[in-house]
Structure 1
Amino acid sequence: MVQHTFKMELKWDDGRNGSGVLQATKLRSEISIPQEMGGPGIGTNPDEMLLGAAATCYLITFATLLENSGIKVERLSMQAEGIVDVTNGVFTYEKILHKPHVLLETATEREKERVMRIAKKAEQTCMISKALKGNVSIECSVNIEQVR
């Protein structure tokens, strides 16, 4: 078995409305609670980082599966949204919505169907999606276009 260990060091000053710093091998950011949730809004926050982890994992997995399938992609981009519900003061990360945009050299109906199948497979096989399964709903809305 091969295992990979990722490490992060975090420092935090003060209580709930304080701020901190996280440092990993290739990432350094200030952190705090976002303003939308009554915090100071310094740097990033756990909600953005969870969305970022889910979105980057999905996009990399999608790109890999498209390449392995031999589909000629001119450009692959994506927007992502994280929906957090607040009920009775309890914050719950409810849903992540991936919105990939795929620009193909040729976009026949067959190619579009293949891309849609691959988009679904990417969501099912992405490591972060699998880690969140059963806790956070993940949806995907793919936009496919052809180079003109």
Structure 2
Amino acid sequence: MANVNLNTVWHGNTKGNGTIQGNGFETNIAIPESLGGSGEGAEPKGLLVSSAASCYSMTLVAMLETRKLNVTGLTMNSEATNSKEEGFKITHYPNIVLSADATEEQIESANRAIVAADKGCAVGNTLKKADVQINIEGKVSVGYGEGII
């Protein structure tokens, strides 16, 4: 695994904000308003969920490519909840669109990739070891899609 190096710069107090920069990205960060901050940037839980979502989606894309499936669209929503009863829970909702001439076998292969990508995502697996629940509710359809990740 490659080393990860980040640079974080903070301006001001809890009402301030900052930036975090790594290889290939830079984003604003801030303490959420609900915790007394400015809310003018990404907050830690959002960054954590975005790491899980990007890992899962990139793993899924690689698996779909390996299976030589003709994907015409791939989008995904993710949501996270945190409660005393259920703990921290992330649900990914991938939506794969295969070409109009996709066979039943290709649709089944895409559905298997949805499940396999969850098992193959290193970030998700690390979070699961910390008792984070990760659920996948995927959908495969045939036709014309938009937004290939």
Name the TM-score, length of structure 2 as normaliser. Answer: 0.82
Residue ranges of structure 2 left out of the alignment (5+ in a row)? 145-149
Matched AA of 2:46: E
> Is structure 2 residue 29 aligned with structure 1 residue 31?
yes
Q: For the structure 1 residues 81 and 37, does the alpha-carbon distance in structure 2 shift closer, same or farther, using more than 3 Å as the test?
A: farther
CA displacement at 1:108 relative to structure 2: 4.2
What is the aligned-residue RMSD (CA, Å)? 2.2
Which residue in the other structure is 1:140 paired with? 136
Task: Report the more deviating stretch, 38-47 or 8-17.
Answer: 8-17
**Deviation by residue 1:33-67 (Cα, 9 ceiling, x = unmatched):** 22344432111111111111111111111011011
Counterpart Cα distance in 2 of 1:146 and 1:37:
44
Aligned 8 A contact 1:62 1:122 in 2: yes
Shift of 1:17: 3.9
| Other-structure match for 1:128 | 123
Report 1 or 2 for greater relative contact order, CA contacts < 8 Å, sequence distance ≥ 6: 2
Equivalent residue, structure 1, for 2:108:
113
Instruction: Give the Cα–Cα distance (whole angstroms) in 2 for the partners of residues 51 and 83 of structure 1.
Output: 10
Contact 2:14 2:38 in 1 (8 A): no
Larger deviation, residues 22-31 vs 51-60: 22-31
Are residues 36 and 142 of structure 1, via their aligned partners in 2, closer, same or farther at CA, if it must alter by over 3 Å?
Answer: farther
Change (3 A) 1:37 1:97: farther
Q: Distance in 2 between matches of 1:35 and 1:101?
A: 32
- After TM superposition, the score normalised by the length of structure 1 is 0.83
**SS of alignment partner, residue 121 of structure 1:** helix
- The alpha-carbon deviation at position 117 of structure 1 amounts to 1.3
Counterpart contact for 1:120–1:140, Cα < 8 Å: yes
What's the CA shift string for 1:7-44, capped at 9, x where partnerless?
Answer: 01112345544422212232222211223444321111
Whether the 8 Å CA contact 1:107–1:145 is kept in 2: the answer is no
Counterpart amino acid of 2:98? Answer: L
The share of aligned pairs that are identical, in percent, is 28
* Larger mean Cα displacement after TM superposition, 117-126 or 76-85: 76-85
- Partner Cα distance (1:33, 1:122) in 2: 32
Pairing 1:99–2:93 present: yes
